[in-house]
Structures are given as structure tokens and as C-alpha cells.
Structure 1
Amino acid sequence: MEHTHQINTRIPIEKKGILLSPTKLKFESNGVLNPGISQEGEEVHIFYRAVEDGNYSTIGYAKTNEHLDLIERKSSPLITRDFDYEKHGVEDARIVKIEDIYYLTYTAYDGFNAMGALATSKDLKHFEKKGIITPFITYKEYKYHLEHCNQERLNPKYYYYYNLFAQIGLADEKHRYLRDKDIVLFPKKINGKFVMLHRIWPGIQIVQFEKWENLTKEFWENHIKNLHDHILMDPFYDFEVNYLGAGCPPIETKDGWLMIYHGVCETHIGKTYHAAAALLDIEDPIKIIGRLPYPLFSPTEEWELLGVVDHVVFPTGTALFGDDLHIYYGAADKHTAVAKVSLQLVLNELKKTAIS
């Protein structure tokens, strides 16, 4: 661990520094970032994105405790690239335990398409891949279904990001599918249904379903035709004006679901990724109780400002020890780092920020 740094924000955040960095091992020589986190009592299981030359990714594994002592770190990938749909990358895992099954969602990258995929486990050691779970919908199909939306309620930026792909010709390719990343599950079923967050630029959408088999192409077509009803959050504040993405699996609290996400804004030196927070209704999580009008934390330290992609903090998992919330995040697409904050302070602040 590096030295602890205290920074001035409206909510006191203690940056604990770098937890994991690239090594000389081939599979993780370029980056160790964006980890899925599963807490089992005092143990914290870390499923990090390991990047090798050529931007090929797998999922590595490490284990720590409350004090961020490194107990274990595997010298080879835990989850490898096995299928054509992920032949370039198994990226950015998030993990939850629902009943007796661990669900690990990740971005499958084939060199062209970035889509959400699922793997399950009973023991955190052996994972069974279930394939792509996001829409197999081309950009032309996406635009067609988008035109069925209530245009008065749909942020025009959804067309802006479609047009970005159209301008460079990607939207015309037959095998270019809708980019859908940051797939994050709630850690329990709500009213008997799985609840999942996903990201079609520029916002965070929410989807509920009873069985994984329900996520058919027809299901997703109907979802997009009614996208205005499924948008949880769109860009709202200056620090997230470009786009948002789901971050850590939501945390169940007495006040609601605490959601830590990332927001991106353009600056004079390029994009900056911030960590942000919102509070969702416990029974109906599409209802937002509060949303911080400023970042929870931002890139300020050297390891966040300079790396493979500069100016990035990218939260993907948490562990809770009493009131101490540890937030694990990717730093500049190179390292895995940890920040610590009081859970109660975050909740108190969020309850002051109700959005009408």
C-alpha cells in the first residue's frame, strides 16, 4: 500500500492508495483495474481486470482483509477468454451473491463489440459462462426502436451518441451491435425479480426480469421502444455531463439502496471520470431519493491522473466494515486503488439532496 492521503471534499474521503498494480506476469503486465468485489465476513475477494500487451484482458484474483493486507494473489488468470464473443477481452467484472449463487457480470469484448455477459459460481473458484445477456441489436435496429420512444421524455443525447457511431460508419456495419456495458446486478431479488443496471449511452437504465431466459431479442426490443420508462439516470450535473455508468452493486441500507456510479465530463485536457453517489427507493429502485450534486471523489493523486487512460477513478465494488465503506476502483486504467468513507455520512448527505 502507498501512503494514505486525505483530500478535501464535502464528504471526507480517505484515499488509501494503490492496492494492486501490474506485475511482470504476461497476463497482467499492462493493467490491473476495475475489480469486482465479494465480501465474505473479514475476507474480500477481488476479481480484477488483468490487461496484457495488445489490450487483451482476463480476470485475475486476489484476496485481502479489512486492513488491506494482501492475503492471496493468483499468478494466472481465474477467468480466461474462451469464446469468440470475448476473444479480445473479459473485462470489468461486478459480482453479487443472490441466494446461494454468485453472479459475475462482465464486459465481453471481441475486438469490435462490447457487450454484457454473465458467469455464475457456487464457490468463487469455478465459473460457468452463460453468454451475452445484453441486446443483440444492430445500430440500425436500435435507431428504429428508439424512434418509438416518447421523444418528449427522451434525452436528445441518445440520438447524439447514435449519430457518433453513424458518422464514422460503424452504425452501418451488419455485425456491429449496440454497445452496452457496466452491467450491475442488485444483490437480491426485489418483488421476486432480478434487477439489473446497464448502460446505453449516455444514461443508466434499469431492467427487471424473473428468469435469465427472458432476456430475448424481443424482450430487449420492447425495452428500447420504451426506453424512456427504463432510464434510471441521465447526465444531470456538470461533472457527469458527457455520460454515466453503473459502478458498484447497490448497497442495501435502512435509508434505501446506495448506488455508487461514475460520471464523465469533458475538460480542456480530455475526459475526466469521477465517482458519484445516489440513493434509490428500497422497494422501487427506479425512484431516486437523492443524488449528490458533486462527485463523491475525483482523480487527484498521481496514480489517478497519469496511467493508461489519464484522469480516471472508476468504482466497481465495495466492502463494509462497521461504518467504514471501502470503495475499490480502477485508477487511470492501470491500478486498483481503495478509498474509505463513512457510510452514514454519505447517506446523511444524500438525504439532503432529494431531486424533485
Structure 2
Amino acid sequence: MEHKNQNNNIISIEKKGILLSPTIKPFESNGVLNPGIFQEGEEVHIFYRAVEDGNFSTIGYARSDGPTNIVERLKRPFITRDFDYEKHGVEDARIVKIEGIFYLTYTAYDGVNAIGALATSKDMKHFERKGIITPPIDYKEYKFHLEHCNQDKLNPKYFYYYNLFAELGIVEEKHRLLKDKDIVLFPRKINNKFVMLHRIWPGIQIVQFEKWEDLTKEFWVDYIKNLTDHILLDPLYNFEVNYLGAGCPPIETEDGWLMIYHGVCETNIGKTYHAAAALLDINDPTKIIGRLPYPLFSPSEDWELKGVVNHVVFPTGTALFDDDLYIYYGAADKHTAVAKVSLKQLLDELKNQKHEKV
């Protein structure tokens, strides 16, 4: 089925439908969604979030021959909940290969905190946990350091979300850490540094570092004190007015880094998650070349509109076959689905869209 963008007919999206759904197996009976994708030639490796009763998550594994032909699917979890910091969930994996090492970033959920974590592998079969990689600070520390930022440049929504969490009593909770999700690595080093996207509400930030050991508490404290220097995208357009989050690992093209992300807006029917796109400079990804002022695609099909969480398309991985870019996404927090777009068409449109500063 072909889905024309409601706001602009230049980009044509073909929704290929559901790729994976929950099964009767207990570990994935409630949801199969938000997959990390790694492509090797014609093979697509799919590391999906598998949800069981009680909202406990592990990572399942499937493999396709071509973009959508599933030829293997494990009957048990591929990555399980092994440590206290992930005792409630190993969620929303993204995966890249850099200099011979597979880096799998994910959200670790302990029942209270949802924070970024890392696992690595040399063979994509045996992964070693490396622990938490996002700021190990609580909300009171976060506010204190955020107040050192350039307030003239800082989007007031950063304090809005802090105040919202304060009203809910979250910032006063013992052992509550700053929520930091949607951890996505660029698939190669840039200027000899790892480059990573993450999300402190409401925007997408970008962090660069030479080695993982650099990500100390002191590093993150300094980072937050200068947060305005690290914000890549903040909410700008109506479809993403509430908050954003990084989606798929950026795709290296001749025109720049293609970034697929999600944007969220609140309507009279609740929150709606849209897929969105931006183009970043190939040598300096902190520079934005273009950004779509409308969604790349939005919930429109039954499996996107109704599920565990309604009105959600949540892109997390891609595979490229000639000019066809396949975008793998979570649909209504229940299924894994796929959409297809022309890479050239999307890049041409992004180059025509000058980025507006917030």
C-alpha cells in the first residue's frame, strides 16, 4: 500500500505492513517492537524489543533474507535482563559496527529509571554488558547544573519538563536518575571520535568522545552546564511540538548524514508519534543542512493507530536495497512494521528544506 505524505506529495512512502507480531511465547506475548537493525548484504538482522506480561522486556532476534522475508526467529530471548539496572527491561536496541566491534545501545529499565546502556560484541552473537553510559545524576543535580547554561539560548521547555516532573513528585524520589533514552551511535567515528545521539527532554543532543571511559560523572556535569552547545534538535514544528527522540543510526550518504527520528505532539486524542527526517553535515554532524517541516510518515493504519500505546510510529533502524530505503519501526508499541521510501527522493527534499533555528 502506498501512503502519500499528507503535507507534501514530493515524498512517497510505501507502508509494507507488519513484519513481526507478538506470539504465544511468554517472553514476547505482549509486544514485538522498536527493532535495532544491522544489514549485511542481503541479510537483515533484527534485534527487537520483546515484551512479556508486566511490561518486562528482553531483546529478541530475527533475520530476514532481503528487506522483509523472515527466515529465522529465535524461540527465546537473545539478550536477557542480567543486571539490577535492567531488571525490568532491556529495551529499544540500536546497533552499529565500528572498527570491527558491534555496539548495541539500549534503554535499561530497573522499574524506576530508564537510562542508556551499552553492550558490545565481536561476532554479533555474544554481547558483553558495559553498563550505564548516560548521566549518572539525579534531577536536583540536573536542575542545578542546567541553571549554569546560557539561559538566553536554552529552550524553556527544558525547565518546563523539570517542573512537570517536580509536580508529579518524580524529582523527589529516592534513587531517581535523569531520564535519558533513545541512545543512537553514528556508524563510524568522525574526526577520531565516537558520536552519539541521546535525548534529555525535550530535544535531541549530540555528544562526542574519544573513548568510553571518558563518560564519567564529571564529563556529564560539564556537558549539562554547557547543554546549549550540545543540543542538535529541539521541538520546532507542530507535529513534534512536545518532544523529539533519536531514531535510526544515521545513514552516511554523499549529501550528508541522513537522520531519521521521531517527533511527538499532544492532540485531543492523546500523544501521536511521527517519523521525521533531517540531514546533517558529513564532517560536522552538529551542523544541520535540512530538516523536514512535516512528518516523514505518521500513524494511519490500524496497526499504528490501535495497540498497547495508540497512534505510534517509532523508527529505530534502516536497511538499504539499491535506492529503496526500508525503515523499520514500532507500531503502536505492539508490532514491528516496515515502510519504504526512495533515498534519492528524500535527500533531494531535505536539501531543499533549509533548517530554521528554534
Answer whether TM exceeds 0.5 for this pair. Answer: yes
User: SS state of the match for residue 284, structure 1?
Assistant: coil
Partner of 1:243: 243
Partner of 2:192: 192
Partner of 1:70: 70
Cα displacement (A) at 1:344: 0.3
Deviates more, 1:60-69 or 1:253-262: 60-69
Deviation string, structure 1 residues 130-165 (Cα, Å, up to 9, x no partner): 000001100000000000000000000000110111
Cα displacement (A) at 1:244: 0.2
User: SS state of the match for residue 263, structure 1?
Assistant: strand
State the alpha-carbon separation in 2 of the partners of residues 106 and 304 from structure 1: 23
CA RMSD of superposed structures (Å): 0.6
Q: 1:233 to 1:112 in 2, by over 3 A?
A: same
Cα displacement (A) at 1:172: 1.3
Cα displacement (A) at 1:123: 1.1
Residues 37-52 of structure 1 aligned to structure 2 (within 5 Å): 37-52=37-52
TM-score normalised per structure 1: 0.98
Quick check: 2:67–2:326 contact (8 Å CA) kept in 1? no
State the alpha-carbon separation in 2 of the partners of residues 27 and 8 from structure 1: 36
Residues 98-137 of structure 1 aligned to structure 2 (within 5 Å): 98-137=98-137
TM-score normalised per structure 2: 0.98
Cα displacement (A) at 1:67: 4.7
State the alpha-carbon separation in 1 of the partners of residues 76 and 355 from structure 2: 46
State the alpha-carbon separation in 2 of the partners of residues 283 and 113 from structure 1: 34
Quick check: 2:310–2:332 contact (8 Å CA) kept in 1? yes
Cα displacement (A) at 1:32: 0.1
Residues 165-314 of structure 1 aligned to structure 2 (within 5 Å): 165-314=165-314
Cα displacement (A) at 1:173: 2.0
Moved over 2 A (4+): none
Deviates more, 1:62-71 or 1:326-335: 62-71
State the alpha-carbon separation in 1 of the partners of residues 173 and 268 from structure 2: 33
Partner of 2:2: 6
State the alpha-carbon separation in 2 of the partners of residues 69 and 83 from structure 1: 34
State the alpha-carbon separation in 2 of the partners of residues 71 and 160 from structure 1: 47
State the alpha-carbon separation in 1 of the partners of residues 15 and 228 from structure 2: 37
Deviates more, 1:86-95 or 1:166-175: 166-175
State the alpha-carbon separation in 2 of the partners of residues 18 and 65 from structure 1: 16
Q: Structure 2: give runs of 5+ residues left out of the alignment.
A: none
User: SS state of the match for residue 112, structure 1?
Assistant: coil
State the alpha-carbon separation in 1 of the partners of residues 286 and 148 from structure 2: 21
Query: How many matched pairs?
Result: 352
State the alpha-carbon separation in 2 of the partners of residues 68 and 43 from structure 1: 10
Q: Name the aligned partner's letter for residue 41 of structure 1.
A: G
Cα displacement (A) at 1:114: 0.3
State the alpha-carbon separation in 2 of the partners of residues 6 and 355 from structure 1: 28
Q: Name the aligned partner's letter for residue 4 of structure 2.
A: N
State the alpha-carbon separation in 2 of the partners of residues 67 and 248 from structure 1: 16
Cα displacement (A) at 1:56: 0.1
State the alpha-carbon separation in 2 of the partners of residues 59 and 213 from structure 1: 26
User: SS state of the match for residue 338, structure 2?
Assistant: strand
Cα displacement (A) at 1:65: 2.2
State the alpha-carbon separation in 2 of the partners of residues 38 and 121 from structure 1: 13
State the alpha-carbon separation in 1 of the partners of residues 140 and 173 from structure 2: 9
State the alpha-carbon separation in 2 of the partners of residues 67 and 308 from structure 1: 25
Partner of 2:93: 93
Cα displacement (A) at 1:124: 1.1
Q: Name the aligned partner's letter for residue 211 of structure 1.
A: K
Partner of 1:163: 163
User: SS state of the match for residue 260, structure 2?
Assistant: strand
Cα displacement (A) at 1:174: 3.1
Q: Name the aligned partner's letter for residue 61 of structure 2.
A: Y
Deviation string, structure 1 residues 266-310 (Cα, Å, up to 9, x no partner): 111000000000000000000000000000000000000000000
User: SS state of the match for residue 284, structure 2?
Assistant: coil
Q: How much identity, in percent, do the aligned residues show?
A: 79
State the alpha-carbon separation in 2 of the partners of residues 338 and 57 from structure 1: 21
Cα displacement (A) at 1:55: 0.1
User: SS state of the match for residue 149, structure 2?
Assistant: coil
Partner of 1:34: 34
Cα displacement (A) at 1:343: 0.3
Cα displacement (A) at 1:355: 1.8
Q: Name the aligned partner's letter for residue 13 of structure 2.
A: I
User: SS state of the match for residue 316, structure 1?
Assistant: strand
Cα displacement (A) at 1:72: 0.2
User: SS state of the match for residue 165, structure 2?
Assistant: helix
Cα displacement (A) at 1:232: 0.1
Cα displacement (A) at 1:168: 1.4
State the alpha-carbon separation in 1 of the partners of residues 72 and 124 from structure 2: 14
Partner of 1:318: 318
Cα displacement (A) at 1:8: 1.6
